[in-house]
Structure 1
Amino acid sequence: MATPLMRLLLAACPLLLVTADPIRKVSTNGTLPLVMWHGMGDSCCNPLSMGAIKKMIEDDVPGIYVLSLRIGNNIDTSNSFFMDVNQQVTQVCAQLAQDPQLKGGYNAMGFSQGGQFLRAVAQRCPSPPMKNLISVGGQHQGVYGLPRCPGESSVICNWIRKALNTEAYSDLVQKHLVQAQYWHDPLKDDLYKKHSVFLADINQERVVNETYKKNLQLLEKFVMVKFLNDTVVDPRVTEWFGFLKTGQSKETETLQESLLYTEDRLGLAAMEKAGKLVFLASDGNHLQFTEKWFNDNLLPYIR
């Protein structure tokens, strides 16, 4: 049975409404496989979202092998809210290493929080090699705002916002709420850096892990899509690796203005100099795009 929190977060997640998808596996036929990781409140094979995207790609790129990651059962969405992200990444790394169709390398596409989760895979698990990483609305510097939910004055919404603002960095919340694991409070920077179990680690906020930096730079392209009318992700610039300036909650800074970039703790400055960073924009709301936009802008990175 879904808890009130699950029902609330499920309602907050917009899905791409297209056609249903029969589960099928095909050989690559010379095209690199594609690994996809769904967003919050979604699952690997929902026929109205990831299943439909999988079919769309298979139709447009004949012979491609598309693996839509399962975190639990086919229709399980609870792990996208309540399973430790580091455990999820570890499980995915094992799954990819055991898949014979991926041994020659693969491209990756993450939707919403799946974007930063797949980046963690690239940084932590270089084998099999990830070639291109496409982040569709991912929150690479985290979020500082609860995703849109029904009823701004509802008791449940207010309770969750209060919990994230006051308890996001408690051991209990960090362990059990996925969204807290990439909650980035610019007013509590010390607490974030000390207690964030996922984002602060992959963003090199405590120590610089040279392996993370080396592995990320193995990517051929790191593509980031920002939705210009996003009402779910706050702040929107996190989708291009920007964020709020530390110590306040109004003014944002770009990736290029951040210490992460100027100190090049992840190698992103070197990647941009090498032409490996791609910044794309869509006029839609969160995860809302047309098939034409997808084909024109993203298919070139997975063919």
Structure 2
Amino acid sequence: ISRFKMTALLSLLLGAGPLLLLALNPVHGSDNATLPLVLWHGMGDSCCNPLSMGSIKKMIEETIPGIDVLSLMIGKTVSQDTENGFFMDVNEQVSMVCSQLAQDPKLKDGYNAMGFSQGGQFLRAVAQRCPSPPMKTLISVGGQQQGVYGLPKCPGESSHICDWIRKELNAGAYTDIVQKHLVQAQYWHDPLNDDLYKKHSLFLADINQERVVNETYKKNLQLLDKFVMVKFLQDSVVDPADTEWFGFLKTGQAKETETLQESVLYKEDRLGLAAMDAAGKLDFLGTEGDHLQFTREWFNAKLVPYLR
């Protein structure tokens, strides 16, 4: 399958357009002790798009004067950054970010992190794999913590076309070449082929402890002061939307979902999430709107307090 064709399919899957931010009146405040903030953009976006991540960075800096905001660029240029969101091995991306953060003197005493869409689970991998410098609060804004399965936003009566595309993608999603070179395949989570997913998923199955329990991952994630997950209640881009709260489809079928608390991952506490939940470290936020659609007013009221 051509790179262009696969990009088009995966753009349909998660929506490659930049997020919409409706600018309202800013909330002013100042705190010289505010931790630096690291941002990781979503698929099809870049570190510095003035209509998305550039706007987010500027808004946060206006709202919290003096805060250092690092919007991650994966590559040497903005165009490389955008392309790598489709084609660069996620494990390599995480390793690259870990190295960058470790070399930044501004982060040595700790930082907060906010990931948008796929950037949400990528930053969780950073927290699990790279505890130095220490991540304090992780905010996942529409992040697919349990991966995705399906093609949303099917036009009109064309759902059968989307079903066909999904089958084609699924047929190749766990091949070595697709796993290695297509980012979205690395968090494609097929509940109908659970064994195949667990065996061949290079990224998601690893960070979600699907094969073995890596005690280091578990220990490192629990070092977070807070893990905040934002779900968009009318999300038509991410399927299933429950993945944004770490829920997913029940294994063996593709209709019924289960919450994080109902999952084996939680009941066996394979990642430490049950312990974090009991300690009050997990926050689940919901907001009206489609994927990554929110107002500045909501952002300031709900997310900015975690950054102060």
Structure 2: how far apart are the matches of 1:41 and 1:165?
21
* Alignment match, 1:60: 63
Q: Does the 8 Å CA contact 2:10/2:184 hold for their aligned counterparts?
A: no
* Alignment match, 1:98: 103
Structure 2: how far apart are the matches of 1:147 and 1:171?
25
1:201 aligns with 2:206: yes
* Alignment match, 1:241: 246
Q: CA deviation at 1:15?
A: 2.3
Q: Does the 8 Å CA contact 1:39/1:114 hold for their aligned counterparts?
A: yes
* Alignment match, 2:28: none
Q: Which letter does structure 1 place at the counterpart of 2:88?
A: M
* Alignment match, 2:173: 168
Structure 1: how far apart are the matches of 2:192 and 2:302?
36
* Alignment match, 1:23: none
1:179 aligns with 2:184: yes
Q: CA deviation at 1:8?
A: 5.7
1:288 aligns with 2:289: no
1:210 aligns with 2:211: no
- The alpha-carbon distance between structure 1 residues 51 and 8, as it changes in their structure 2 partners (threshold 3 A), is farther
Structure 1: how far apart are the matches of 2:292 and 2:223?
27
- The alpha-carbon distance between structure 1 residues 299 and 82, as it changes in their structure 2 partners (threshold 3 A), is same
- The alpha-carbon distance between structure 1 residues 148 and 83, as it changes in their structure 2 partners (threshold 3 A), is farther
Q: Does the 8 Å CA contact 2:18/2:44 hold for their aligned counterparts?
A: no
Structure 1: how far apart are the matches of 2:115 and 2:152?
18
1:230 aligns with 2:235: yes
Q: Does the 8 Å CA contact 1:152/1:158 hold for their aligned counterparts?
A: no
Instruction: Show structure 2 runs of 5+ residues with no match.
Output: 24-30
Q: CA deviation at 1:34?
A: 0.2
Structure 1: how far apart are the matches of 2:280 and 2:11?
37
Instruction: Show structure 1 runs of 5+ residues with no match.
Output: 21-27
Q: CA deviation at 1:151?
A: 9.2
- TM-score normalised by length of structure 2: 0.90
Query: How many pairs align?
Result: 295
- The alpha-carbon distance between structure 1 residues 159 and 71, as it changes in their structure 2 partners (threshold 3 A), is farther
1:46 aligns with 2:49: yes
Deviation per CA, 1:57-108, whole angstroms, max 9, x where unpaired? 0000000000000011124311111110000000000000011110010000
User: How much is the aligned-residue C-alpha RMSD, in angstroms?
Assistant: 2.3
- The alpha-carbon distance between structure 1 residues 268 and 127, as it changes in their structure 2 partners (threshold 3 A), is same
Q: Which letter does structure 1 place at the counterpart of 2:166?
A: R
Structure 1: how far apart are the matches of 2:59 and 2:289?
19
- TM-score normalised by length of structure 1: 0.91
Deviation per CA, 1:131-158, whole angstroms, max 9, x where unpaired? 000000001111011354789859x977
Q: Secondary structure at the match of 1:77?
A: helix
Deviation per CA, 1:19-73, whole angstroms, max 9, x where unpaired? 99xxxxxxx9421000000001000000000000000000000000000000111
Structure 2: how far apart are the matches of 1:158 and 1:47?
35
Identity in percent: 78
Q: Secondary structure at the match of 1:224?
A: strand
Q: CA deviation at 1:16?
A: 3.0
Structure 1: how far apart are the matches of 2:297 and 2:22?
15
Q: Which letter does structure 2 place at the counterpart of 1:292?
A: E
- The alpha-carbon distance between structure 1 residues 232 and 18, as it changes in their structure 2 partners (threshold 3 A), is closer
- The alpha-carbon distance between structure 1 residues 44 and 150, as it changes in their structure 2 partners (threshold 3 A), is farther
Structure 1: how far apart are the matches of 2:173 and 2:43?
18
Q: Which letter does structure 1 place at the counterpart of 2:189?
A: H
- The alpha-carbon distance between structure 1 residues 170 and 46, as it changes in their structure 2 partners (threshold 3 A), is same
Q: Secondary structure at the match of 1:133?
A: strand
* Alignment match, 1:25: none
Q: Which letter does structure 1 place at the counterpart of 2:59?
A: M
- The alpha-carbon distance between structure 1 residues 32 and 86, as it changes in their structure 2 partners (threshold 3 A), is same
